[in-house]
Amino acid sequence: MAIQKSSAPTIIDVAERAGVSRATASRAMGGYGRIAAQTVEQVRRAAAELGYRPNEVARAMRQGRTRTIGLVIIADFTNAFFDRATKAIVDAAKSHGYQVLITNTDEDIAAERQAIETLIDKQVDGLIVVPSTAAVHDHLATVQKSGKPLVLFDRRVDGIVATTITTDDFSGTEAAVRHAYAMGHRRFGFLVAAAGNYGHSTERPAVMISSVEDRINGFMSGCADLGIKPKQQSWMFCEDNARDPEIAVAKLLDQPKAPTIILTTNNDMALVLLKTAGNRRLVIGKDISLITVDDSQWAAAMAPGITVVARPVEDLGSITVEKLLAEIDAPGQKAEKIVLPTELIARGSVANLVMYPENEPENY
Partner DNA sequence: GAGATTTGCGAGAACGTTCTCACAAATCTT
Partner DNA sequence: AAGATTTGTGAGAACGTTCTCGCAAATCTC
Q: What are the residues binding DNA (CB under 7 A)?
A: 7-8, 10-12, 19-24, 26-27, 29-30, 32-39, 52, 54-55, 58-59, 61-64
Is the Cβ of residue 74 or residue 134 nearer to its own copies in the bound state?
74
Nearest to 189 by CA among 242, 238, 253: 253
Closer to its own copies by CB, 39 or 118: give it: 118
CA-to-CA separations, 147 to 9, 137, 142, 158, in angstroms, rounded: 35, 16, 9, 19
Which residues between 188 and 217 bind its own copies (CB under 8 A)? none
One of 13, 16, 117, 213 touching its own copies (CB under 8 A): 117
- Minimum CB separation of residue 218 from its own copies in Å reads 25
Count of alpha carbons within 13 Å of 199, Cβ hemisphere only? 5
The rounded distance, in Å, linking the Cα atoms of 361 and 228 is 8
Residue 332 dihedral angles phi and psi, to the nearest 5°: 100, 15
Q: Report the distance separating Cα 190 and Cα 249, nearest Å.
A: 10
- Residue among 9, 196, 199, 304 that touches its own copies (CB under 8 A): 304
Partners of 150 in beta bridges? 127
Q: What are the backbone dihedrals phi and psi of residue 130, each rounded to the nearest 5 degrees, phi first? A: -100, 100
In the bound complex, what is the minimum distance in angstroms from residue 13's beta carbon to DNA?
A: 8
Q: Output the smallest distance, CB 95 to its own copies, in A.
A: 11
Q: Work out which of 39, 78, 217, 241 binds its own copies, going by CB under 8 A.
A: 78
| Nearest partner of 17 among 39, 46, 40, judged by Cα | 46
Residue 12's binding partner out of its own copies, DNA, none, with CB under 5 to 8 Å set by partner kind? DNA
Distance of closest approach, residue 142 Cβ to DNA, in angstroms: 17
Q: Is the dihedral of CA 101, 104, 107, 110 positive or negative?
A: negative
Interface pick for its own copies out of 44, 87, 96, 178 (rule CB under 8 A):
87
Binding status of residue 90 toward its own copies by CB under 8 A: yes
Distance CA 242, CA 91 (A): 33
By the criterion CB under 8 A, which residues form the site for its own copies?
7-8, 53-58, 60-61, 66, 68, 75, 77-78, 80, 83-84, 86-87, 90-91, 94, 99-104, 117-123, 146-147, 267-268, 271-272, 274-275, 277-279, 284, 296-298, 300-305
